[in-house]
Amino acid sequence: MSPARFRAITSGYADLRIGLVGDFCLDRYLEINPALRETSIETGLPVHNVVAVRSQPGAAGTILNNLVALGIGQIDIVGFAGDDGEGLELVRALQALPRVNLEYFIQTPQRRTFTYTKPLLIRPRQPPRELNRLDFKNWTPTPPSLARRLAAAVRQLGRQVDALIVLDQVEQAGTGVVTRPVLDALATLSRRWPTLLIVADSRRSLRGFPPVTFKMNATELARLVGVRRKLSLREIRAYAGRLARRLGRAVFVTLSELGILGAAPDGSVVVDPALPVRGPIDIVGAGDAVTANLTAALAAGASISEALRLANAAASVVIHQLGTTGTATVRDLRPLVLDLNQP
């Protein structure tokens, strides 16, 4: 990519308004000093002494953090938190982010706050090592009244934004933000405004989603097309191309160390290779960085190939940030994307 083209795309980010719909969680990191050894008198088990606590928005919040890092002009978020301590902490963290509109974010006693608690062993001159995670989730269906409020927010935002991102992060269908009423609202937007960029990602499957731009990994693609084995790259290309033609929308598939595949609505497919690894890595958050950068670039007028290059660069930046769910700024992307032999 030439410097001029890079500037043309990224200089438009400040003018974009992007809506983000999905499951926001609290990422809480517990930093443990293993040198402070103790044994519980009551149980005889080793005690992990926490010396620092870090919290930040996670899941859809990780996409949000990346959109903020890119300098998107306004980001409207649709989601919920519980009326609990974790919810207070999450809302406070969201309010601290610049250019984020919380008008459609709901704090409710009907749900508990989705929380990932991540204990980290911190040793001098070593990468942090994550222990077993402690999760707080909702295991019952999202109340219909709350689902209707979220769906109404989606319909309203669709008339105002340049692009919409949808993240379904929960394990149990119907227990998070992306319920049937929200999917119906997305289907309405897709019909009424066919040029509106809507990028959807789901950790379970995009089966049942309306025709929007799909983003997934290779395992999720296999699940979507009903194949119970690992797909070859040739098969991924074929399935993604057919899916894009059927949807009439682009399809993106992350391929781990192979890079990212993009299929256009005409069925043509391009694979942008991953950048070389430059040291120890932590892949947490890479997929969300890809989602944020694909959406921002496409909304700013990038081609599929250009969006893939920017998203791959963002993933490379993020995986080299250890012990946290990282982000990538435009300044971070620049040296990884530019072909300095072009004007």
pTM: 0.92
* Residue 216 maps to a domain: yes
Question: What are the structure tokens assigned to 223, written together?
Answer: 């699940």
Side-chain half-sphere exposure of 173, counting CA atoms within 13 A: 10
For 174-198, the DSSP string reads TSSS--HHHHHHHHHHHHH-TTSEE
- Is residue 320 within 8 Å of 278, Cβ to Cβ? yes
Indicate the SS3 state at residue 318. helix
The predicted pLDDT at position 322 comes to 67
* Residue 249 maps to a domain: yes
Residue with tokens 């997934």: 216
* Residue 78 maps to a domain: yes
Number of domains composing the chain: 1
The predicted pLDDT at position 68 comes to 97
For 201-240, the DSSP string reads EESS--TT--SSEEEEEHHHHHHHHT--SPPPHHHHHHHH
Would you tell me how many other CB atoms lie within 10 Å of the CB of residue 45?
9
For 107-159, the DSSP string reads EETTSPPPEEEEEEE--TTS--EE---EEE---SPPPHHHHHHHHHHHHHHHT
The predicted pLDDT at position 281 comes to 66
Question: What are the structure tokens assigned to 263, written together?
Answer: 């299929």
How far from the centroid of its chain's Cα atoms is residue 217's Cα? 12
- Is residue 64 within 8 Å of 71, Cβ to Cβ? no
The residues near 75 (Cβ < 8 Å, ≥ 6 apart) are: 17, 18, 19, 20, 64, 67, 68, 99, 100, 101
- Give the residue numbers spanning the domain of 33: 3-337
Split the chain (343 residues) into runs of 10 and give each run's mean pLDDT: 94 98 96 94 94 94 96 98 96 97 97 96 90 95 98 95 97 96 97 96 94 96 93 96 97 94 97 84 80 98 97 90 80 85 49
Max CA pair span of the chain = 69
**What CA–CA distance (Å, rounded) separates 41 from 15?**
59
The predicted pLDDT at position 282 comes to 63
The predicted pLDDT at position 339 comes to 64
* Residue 120 maps to a domain: yes
- For helices 180-192 and 144-158, the axis angle rounded to 10 degrees is 20
CATH number at residue 30: 3.40.1190.20
* Residue 343 maps to a domain: no
* Residue 342 maps to a domain: no
* Residue 147 maps to a domain: yes
**What CA–CA distance (Å, rounded) separates 178 from 78?**
10
* Residue 256 maps to a domain: yes
Classify the phi-psi angles of 129: left when phi > 0, otherwise alpha if psi is within -120 to 50, otherwise beta. beta
For 33, 88, 129, 132, 275, the CA distances from 124, given in Å and listed in that order, are: 10, 33, 12, 21, 29
